[in-house]
Structure 1
Amino acid sequence: MSFRPMLVAAALVLAAGLSSPATFARELPHTEGQRPDGAAIASANAQATDAGMDVLRKGGNAFDAAVAVSAALGLVEPESSGIGGGGFFLLRRASDGKVVFVDGRERAPLAATRDMFLDPATGEPRPRQTIDGPLAAAIPGLPAALVHVSKTYGRLPLADALAPAVALAEEGWTFGDKNLAMMGWREAALAADAGAAPLLLVDGKTPALGTRMRNPDYAEVLKRLGRDGFDGFYRGDIAKRLVDGVRAAGGIWTLDDLAQYRVVEREPLVFQHRGKTVVTAPPPSSGGIALAQTLQILDGYDWSKRSELDRLHLRIEAMRRAYRDRAVFLGDPDFVDVPVELLTNPAYAAGLRAGIHPEKATPSAMLPGVTALERPDTTHFSIVDAEGNIASVTQTVNLPYGNAMVIPGTGFLLNNEMDDFSVKAGVPNAFGLVGDDANAIAPGKRPLSSMTPTIVVGDDQIAVLGTPGGSRIISMVIQGVLALDAGASALEAAAEPRVHHQYLPDEVSIEKEALSPELRAGLEARGHVIKEEPRTWGNMQVVTWDLTDGDVEAGADPRWKSVGKGSTQDGGIFR
C-alpha cells in the first residue's frame, strides 16, 4: 500500500495555506545583551569533558571546545565514535544568532553498488559483511568536520583544540565501565584484527577496569590533522596508509574517495513547540523530522488536562506514526527528494492525530510501511560557553567498536556505517535493519541516521540535548524535550526513565521499572504490548542556560555515572 495518496491529500491542505511547516533556518534571535554566568559541558566521558574545559580555559570558544571533546571521545570512547567515523555538529553563534548544521556523516565509497552485500546466487544479504571487515566501512567524515568547525567557527588554532586529546593519547587514558561493557559484544572480532588487537586488548583479552591505555599512533594522526588540516588526513601518507590497508583486506576504498570527501553545511530544521523554538537535525538525519512530527501531533492536545496514562498513550501513538514515515521517505537529501515541508507541516500532523484513538492502541499492521532497528552505539555532548555560543554534537562509528578493524599505524577504528543503508528493500539484515529505496546504497551517498542533536530556545531557557541509542535516539530526545517542558532540570531530563515505540516491532520497549504497575496495566488494557528490556539504553547529555539569571547546568546521564561528566564554570572557577 502506498502513502502517496495520503501525501497528495496533505499537499492540498498545504496549498490552501492553512498551516506553516517546519522551516530551514540560518539564524535565530541572538539574545542580545544576555550571556550565561559561565560555561557548561556535558559529555559521556569525564576525560573528554575535562578536555573541553581545558580549551575554554585557554581562551577557546564553544566550537573549539567541541573539537576538543570530539577528539578526546574518539580516543577514550572508541566503542562509540572516533575519527574513523562521522558526526553532526549543530552550532549556534552568539554574536549574530547564526545556526548551522555541519554534516560530517560518512559517505559510501565511489565503487559501492546497490547490491554489493547480496549473494549473487540467492539475492539475499551475506551475513555480517555490513558489520565486520573492510566492506562495512564508509568514508570517514569526522576529521573533515573537526577541521571545518575549527577553521570556520573556532577561535584557537586547530592544533591547540586537539592538544588535550593528543596529551591523553600519549600519556594514557583510563579504560572504564562503558568500554568494558561494550567490548563484551566485540572481543572476538577485535582479537581477529591485526591492528585492533594490540591497540585495544591486553594479551588478546578485554583490559581490566582502570587499565592505562596509550595510543601514540592516534596522537600522531591528530598532530598531522592540526598541522595540515584536511590534507593531513584525506591526502598524503595517512590517506595512502588507510586505502592500502582497506584494499589489502578486501575493501574498495580509493584515494579519490578520501580526497573527494566534503563536509556539507546544511540549514537546521526549525519548528515551534508550545511557544518554544526547536532547532534540530535535517536530513540525512531522520531525527529532526520525527521529532517535529511527534511534538506537533502532541501539541494538538490540551496536555495539562490529560492524565499521565493519557499522555503516555498519546506519545506512543505519535511516535508510532512518525517512525513509520521515517522508514518510507527519508534518505540522503543530495540523492533523494525528501518531502520535508510536507512531513513537518502541522496540518499533516493534524491528519495523523485524527487517526489516534484516545483510549486504544492502533495496531501497527494497520499503518503500512517499514522501519529500522538500529544498535545503541554513538555518543553525544552538549556545550554552552560564557559568551552564549552553543554546540550540540552527536558522533558515531555505528555498532560497538565499529567494524572492529584498525589499519596498523593509525590508532583508530573504522566505522561500519554501510550497515545503516538498506541493503535490500524490505529485507532485514542480521540485526533487523529494514529500509526502503530512499536509503539504498549509492556511490558517495550518506546513510540515513537517527542522530538528533537539538537546541530548544524558550523565553526563559535555552536547552541543548542529544543522546546515542540508534533508532531510540529520537524517542529519548522527545522525552527530554517534554521533561524540560514540565520543569525538569538538566540532570532530571537526562535521567528520565525511557519508553520507546518505533512502529515495528509493534511493542512498547521500557527500561526496568520505568512504569508503575498501574501505568503498565493501563497501557496493556488499551492494547499496548509492553516489553521490559534487561538493560538501560542511551546516554543523554543536557545543558541548560537560564535566561532570567544566567545560570547554566550540565546534566550527564546517571546511567553511566562513573563515566560521564557534566561540568560548569562559574565566575572563572571550574568545577
Structure 2
Amino acid sequence: MKPVFKPLVAAVALAALAACAPRATLPAAAPAPVAPAPDSSATPRQAFIAAAHPIAVEAGLDVLRRGGSAVDAAVTVQAMLSLVEPQSSGLGGGAFLVHYDRATQGITVYDGRGVAPAGATPDMLLGPDGKPLPFGTAVVSGRATGVPGVVAMLGLAHRNAGKLAWRDLFGDVVRTADQGFTVTDRLAQLIDSRAPQARGADAVAYFRNAQGQQIKAGDTLRNPAYAAFVRRLASEGPDAMYKGETARRIVARVRQGDLAGSMTEADIAAYRPIVRQPVCNPFRVYILCAPPPPSSGVGLLQLMAMIERTDIAKRGPNDPVAWVKYAEASRVMYADRDAYVGDVPTVPVKGMLDPAYVASRAALVGERAGAAPQPGTPPGAVTARIDATQEVAGTSHFVIVDGDGNAVSMTTTVESLFGSGRMVDGFFLNNQMTDFSFVPDGPNAIAPGKRPRSSMVPTIILNPDRTLAGAIGSPGGNAILAYVSKTLVGIVGWNMPVADALALPNLVARGTAFNGEASKFAPPLAAAMSARGVTVRGGSGENSGLHGVMLRNGGFDGGADPRRDGVARTITLPARN
C-alpha cells in the first residue's frame, strides 16, 4: 500500500543548506514514509558505493575499509574510472561533486567544471562561412578542449573532507593500469564505433594490441603511461596536472592540427575550482539539493515542483496519462532551462522556483501533448535568448556513503565519447568547449574563463530534519534531467525500490522530440501514449547510467543502471573504538 503524501505548501529555495552557511528553517513536510538514517555509531556500520564499473567500486570500497571518507573514496573511484571507463569520464575532464556532511548536516557543492581558455572567442566554433562547424569536425579539434577541472576540484574536496593521505588513494589505480584490466563488451563496442573520436590517431593507437589488432571484449588493456602519471599525481598532488610536464603536453596536443586550440600553460595553472551553495527545493516529503548554475540543478528542481502539482504520483507507471503529463512537464522545463541557464549572473534561479511561477508553468501540463512550449518569464528574468547548444550524451556518475554517514553524489565527464579523442599521459582530453552554444548568443555563449552550461545534476536527498535520505545522478548529456527526474518519480511518487525505478523506461521530451526507449514501453501503454500525442522514438538520448541510493528501514536501498556496466555494493565496517 502506498503511503499518503501531503504536498508542501510552498517551494522554498534553501541556499543556506551549504556547509559554510547558517542552517535554514525548513518548511513543514509530511512525515517521511521511510525510517531516518540509523545512528552511524551503532554496530554494525555500513557503507555504500554505486558506480559505473565493478573495478572502480571495489577500489572505492577498499578506501572505505581503510577508514577513508566518502570524498577519499571519490578520488579513487574517479581515478579508476578514468582508466576502465575512458569513454565517459577521466582526469582530463570536469565534474560536479555534491557532499553531505553528517556532523553539520551541511551540503557543499564543488564545481570542477572546466573553463574556456583566455584566448577563447564567441565565434570560435563557427566556420569561415559564419555557420556553426559540424559537430564531428569541432569535437576532435584542438578548440574542443577546455582547461580540465576534476583533479583540482577533488584536491580541494579532499583538503576539506578527506581523512586518508592523498598519496594513499591511488595504489589500486596504479596496479590496475600496470597489470591491465579486462575490456567489457560495452567498452569494446564503443571502441569499434564510428564516432570520430574513436577513429582518431590517439584512440586507434591506444586500443591496439601488440600485433596491431584492435582490442576486443575479454582482452586485457594496459596503460603504463597512465600508471606513470598517477604515480606523479599521488606524490605531487594536483599540481601534477596543472604545472610542469603534463600541462606542457596538454598545451602541445591541443595546438596540433587544423582548428588548433588557444590554451596556454598559464590557463592551466590559473584553474581554480569553486565552492558553491546548492540549490534546494522540496519534493513531497523530501528536500532535493543539486548544483546551481552553470549546472542545471534549478531545471531539475523546477521540473519536480511542476510534477508535484500534477496527479502523476496517483496514476502510477502503467498509466499513459502519467507518462504524457511527465513528458509535457519535461518540455516546459527544458524550454526554460535552455533559455536562461548558463555561467552568467542573470540566471533567475529564485524566479524559476517561485511557487506562483511554477504553478503557472504546471498549468500548461495536460493529458495530451500540445505544441512545443516556449520559455516563460520567471520573476527576475532577462529576455529569453536563442540557444544553439549541441550537448551530446556521455559522462559518468557515482554515489558514495561512508561509514560515518557522509555522502558524495558526483557526476563527471570528458563530455562526449572519449572526449576529443586526443590523449595525454594515458588519459583523454575533454571536448567541453562544444558544450557551449556554437552560435555566439544567449546565456551559454563562449567567453574567456567561462564555464559551459552543464546538464549534470548530482543530487543529495534530505529528510525534513536534514538527515540524509539518499543520493542520485546520471550521465546522458541534456537527457540527464529526464533520467534523474524519471527515477525520482519512481522512487518517491510511485514508492518503487531504487533498482526498479532506475530501470523504468527512459523518456526524454524536449521541444518537438519525444526520444527514449520505445521498446521498453509495453505495446498497449505505448499505443495509448501515442494516441495522446507522445510517440516515443529511439535513436538518441537514451543511454542513461543512473546510480542512486535511499536510506530505508535502517539500511541502503540502492542500485546501478542495468544499461551500463555498473554495480551497487553495501559493505559492513568495523565498529568504532
| Shorter-chain TM band | 0.7 to 0.9
1:570 and 2:561 aligned:
no
Q: CA deviation at 1:543?
A: 2.0
* Counterpart position of 1:519: 525
Give secondary structure in 1 for the equivalent of 2:529: helix
User: Matched residues in 1 for 2:216 and 2:11: separation?
Assistant: 55
User: Matched residues in 2 for 1:204 and 1:352: separation?
Assistant: 57
Aligned pairs (5 A) from 1:420-499? 420-424=435-439, 436-458=441-463, 462-485=469-492, 486-499=494-507
* Counterpart position of 1:298: 307
1:328 and 2:339 aligned:
yes
**Identity percentage over the alignment?**
33
* Counterpart position of 2:18: 26
Q: Which amino acid aligns with 2:117?
A: P
Q: Deviations over 1:213-265 (max 9, x none)?
A: 11122122222222222322101222122223332443311011101000001
User: Matched residues in 1 for 2:303 and 2:207: separation?
Assistant: 41
Aligned pairs (5 A) from 1:93-492? 93-125=101-133, 128-186=136-194, 189-193=197-201, 195-202=202-209, 205-249=213-257, 250-286=260-296, 288-306=297-315, 308-332=319-343, 335-356=344-365, 358-364=366-372, 370=387, 372=389, 374-407=391-424, 410-424=425-439, 436-458=441-463, 462-485=469-492, 486-492=494-500
User: Matched residues in 2 for 1:121 and 1:302: separation?
Assistant: 50
* Counterpart position of 2:544: 538
Give secondary structure in 1 for the equivalent of 2:423: coil
Choose the corresponding residue for 1:553, options 557, 568, 575.
Answer: 557
Q: Which amino acid aligns with 2:14?
A: T
Q: CA deviation at 1:449?
A: 0.8
Q: Which amino acid aligns with 1:23?
A: L
Q: CA deviation at 1:158?
A: 1.1
TM-score normalised by length of structure 2: 0.87
User: Matched residues in 2 for 1:60 and 1:198: separation?
Assistant: 37
Q: Deviations over 1:105-158 (max 9, x none)?
A: 111111010001212344443663420031111111111122112222110111
Give secondary structure in 1 for the equivalent of 2:400: strand
Bigger mean CA offset, 456-465 vs 65-74: 456-465
* Counterpart position of 2:383: none
Q: Which amino acid aligns with 1:316?
A: A
Give secondary structure in 2 for the equivalent of 1:109: coil
Contact 2:459 2:473 (8 Å CA) reproduced? yes
> What 5-or-longer segments of structure 1 have no aligned partner?
1-17, 426-435
Q: CA deviation at 1:187?
A: 6.7
Aligned residues: 533
- CA pair 273-136 structure 1, distance change in 2 beyond 3 A: same
Contact 2:309 2:359 (8 Å CA) reproduced? yes
Give secondary structure in 1 for the equivalent of 2:83: helix
* Counterpart position of 1:429: none
Q: Which amino acid aligns with 1:26?
A: A
Contact 1:324 1:371 (8 Å CA) reproduced? no
User: Matched residues in 2 for 1:488 and 1:400: separation?
Assistant: 32
Contact 1:73 1:82 (8 Å CA) reproduced? yes
- CA pair 206-399 structure 1, distance change in 2 beyond 3 A: farther
- CA pair 129-188 structure 1, distance change in 2 beyond 3 A: closer
User: Matched residues in 2 for 1:140 and 1:389: separation?
Assistant: 26
User: Matched residues in 2 for 1:32 and 1:484: separation?
Assistant: 17
User: Matched residues in 1 for 2:495 and 2:469: separation?
Assistant: 13
Aligned Cα RMSD in Å?
2.5
Contact 2:403 2:573 (8 Å CA) reproduced? no
* Counterpart position of 1:11: none
Q: CA deviation at 1:366?
A: 6.0
- CA pair 379-235 structure 1, distance change in 2 beyond 3 A: same
Q: Which amino acid aligns with 1:339?
A: P
Q: Which amino acid aligns with 1:318?
A: A
> What 5-or-longer segments of structure 2 have no aligned partner?
1-8, 27-35, 377-385
1:70 and 2:78 aligned:
yes
User: Matched residues in 2 for 1:314 and 1:532: separation?
Assistant: 19
* Counterpart position of 1:12: none
User: Matched residues in 1 for 2:285 and 2:243: separation?
Assistant: 48
User: Matched residues in 1 for 2:491 and 2:138: separation?
Assistant: 38
User: Matched residues in 2 for 1:423 and 1:187: separation?
Assistant: 20
Q: CA deviation at 1:471?
A: 1.1
TM-score normalised by length of structure 1: 0.87
User: Matched residues in 2 for 1:450 and 1:392: separation?
Assistant: 14
Q: Deviations over 1:401-428 (max 9, x none)?
A: 1111113xx1111111111000115xxx
Give secondary structure in 2 for the equivalent of 1:64: helix
- CA pair 476-325 structure 1, distance change in 2 beyond 3 A: same
- CA pair 535-291 structure 1, distance change in 2 beyond 3 A: closer
Q: Which amino acid aligns with 2:180?
A: G
